[in-house]
Amino acid sequence: MKLLVTKEAANWYKEEFDVQQPTSLRFYVRYGFGGIIPGYSLAITTDKMDDVYASCEVGDITFFIKEKDAWYFDDKNLTIEFNQEKQEPEFIYDE
Protein backbone atom coordinates (compact mmCIF):
# COMPACT_ATOMS: atom_id res chain seq x y z
CA MET A 1 0.00 0.00 0.00
CA LYS A 2 1.24 3.46 -0.88
CA LEU A 3 0.14 6.65 0.86
CA LEU A 4 0.56 9.93 -1.03
CA VAL A 5 -0.48 13.37 0.22
CA THR A 6 -0.12 16.25 -2.23
CA LYS A 7 1.53 19.47 -1.12
CA GLU A 8 -1.78 21.35 -1.43
CA ALA A 9 -3.59 18.83 0.80
CA ALA A 10 -0.70 18.85 3.29
CA ASN A 11 -0.92 22.65 3.49
CA TRP A 12 -4.65 22.37 4.29
CA TYR A 13 -3.90 19.96 7.17
CA LYS A 14 -1.06 22.20 8.33
CA GLU A 15 -3.45 25.14 8.63
CA GLU A 16 -6.30 23.10 10.18
CA PHE A 17 -4.01 21.55 12.82
CA ASP A 18 -1.99 24.77 13.26
CA VAL A 19 1.27 22.88 12.72
CA GLN A 20 4.16 25.06 13.92
CA GLN A 21 6.86 22.39 14.10
CA PRO A 22 7.53 18.97 12.61
CA THR A 23 4.71 16.63 13.59
CA SER A 24 3.05 13.38 12.63
CA LEU A 25 -0.62 13.00 11.72
CA ARG A 26 -2.28 9.57 11.72
CA PHE A 27 -5.20 8.51 9.58
CA TYR A 28 -7.32 5.97 11.44
CA VAL A 29 -10.53 4.05 10.81
CA ARG A 30 -13.72 5.04 12.62
CA TYR A 31 -17.43 4.42 12.34
CA GLY A 32 -18.89 6.86 9.85
CA PHE A 33 -19.86 7.36 6.24
CA GLY A 34 -18.11 8.33 3.04
CA GLY A 35 -15.36 5.75 3.12
CA ILE A 36 -14.60 2.78 0.90
CA ILE A 37 -16.27 0.34 3.29
CA PRO A 38 -19.90 1.09 4.24
CA GLY A 39 -20.19 2.17 7.88
CA TYR A 40 -16.54 3.27 8.15
CA SER A 41 -14.49 6.30 7.22
CA LEU A 42 -11.08 7.82 7.91
CA ALA A 43 -10.34 10.37 10.59
CA ILE A 44 -7.07 12.09 11.46
CA THR A 45 -5.28 12.91 14.71
CA THR A 46 -1.84 13.84 15.93
CA ASP A 47 0.04 10.78 17.17
CA LYS A 48 3.53 9.40 17.60
CA MET A 49 4.73 7.10 14.86
CA ASP A 50 4.83 3.44 15.81
CA ASP A 51 3.62 0.23 14.21
CA VAL A 52 3.53 2.03 10.83
CA TYR A 53 1.75 0.40 7.88
CA ALA A 54 2.29 3.26 5.40
CA SER A 55 3.64 6.80 5.60
CA CYS A 56 4.35 9.90 3.55
CA GLU A 57 6.37 12.98 4.49
CA VAL A 58 5.38 16.38 3.11
CA GLY A 59 7.29 19.35 4.49
CA ASP A 60 7.06 19.39 8.30
CA ILE A 61 4.33 16.74 8.46
CA THR A 62 4.60 12.98 8.33
CA PHE A 63 1.25 11.37 7.52
CA PHE A 64 0.87 7.72 8.47
CA ILE A 65 -1.43 4.75 8.96
CA LYS A 66 -0.92 2.11 11.65
CA GLU A 67 -0.87 -1.62 11.03
CA LYS A 68 -4.11 -2.09 12.99
CA ASP A 69 -5.96 -0.08 10.31
CA ALA A 70 -4.43 -1.91 7.31
CA TRP A 71 -7.57 -4.06 6.88
CA TYR A 72 -9.53 -1.01 5.75
CA PHE A 73 -7.38 -0.44 2.66
CA ASP A 74 -7.43 -4.02 1.32
CA ASP A 75 -4.13 -3.43 -0.54
CA LYS A 76 -5.42 -0.23 -2.18
CA ASN A 77 -3.25 2.86 -2.46
CA LEU A 78 -4.47 6.14 -0.99
CA THR A 79 -3.81 9.52 -2.55
CA ILE A 80 -5.04 12.63 -0.77
CA GLU A 81 -5.46 15.64 -3.01
CA PHE A 82 -6.92 19.06 -2.33
CA ASN A 83 -10.30 19.60 -3.99
CA GLN A 84 -10.35 23.27 -5.06
CA GLU A 85 -14.11 23.34 -5.57
CA LYS A 86 -14.95 21.98 -2.10
CA GLN A 87 -11.89 23.57 -0.45
CA GLU A 88 -11.06 20.35 1.42
CA PRO A 89 -8.98 17.19 1.03
CA GLU A 90 -10.28 14.42 -1.20
CA PHE A 91 -9.41 10.73 -0.74
CA ILE A 92 -8.69 8.71 -3.87
CA TYR A 93 -8.30 4.94 -3.55
CA ASP A 94 -6.78 2.86 -6.36
CA GLU A 95 -5.11 -0.46 -6.95
**Domain range list for the chain:** 3-94
Number of H-type helices and E-type strands within the chain: 1, 7
Q: Residue 75: is it exposed, middle or buried by C-beta count within 10 angstroms (0-12/13-18/19+)?
A: exposed
Q: Which pLDDT does position 55 carry in this prediction?
A: 98
Superfamily of domain 3-94: HesB-like domain (2.60.300.12)
pTM: 0.93
pLDDT lower than 50: segments of the chain: none
